[in-house]
Amino acid sequence: SDERFKLLKDTRGFESIHQCYTSGELLHISFKEQNEMKQKELLDYLQQKGHSNIELKEVVPTIEDCFIGLINN
């Protein structure tokens, strides 16, 4: 998205998000419940909030992701 701070705030406001944080130019997110329908719902929700050029990509969590997850719990 072209407005990263607004994207961060809006993504955190989506009910199915477990955690969301920035990492460079990217947002790292995890869902409370992982399934493709939630990803589609998130994309639709963010588009309704005025965001465009959004791409979701599933990745294997890094050690940093695991650490952030532990300190946030």
Residue-wise pLDDT for 7-47, tens only, equals 999 999 999 998 888 888 888 888 888 778 899 999 999 99
pTM: 0.80
From the CB of residue 7, how many other CB atoms can be counted at a distance below 10 Å?
Answer: 19
Cα-based torsion angle of the residue sequence 20, 18, 51, 7 in order, rounded to the nearest 10 degrees? -30
Q: Tell me the two tokens of residue 54.
A: 């959004």
pLDDT in tens, 52-62: 989 888 877 77
In this prediction, residue 66 carries a pLDDT of: 72
In this prediction, residue 2 carries a pLDDT of: 59
In this prediction, residue 63 carries a pLDDT of: 77
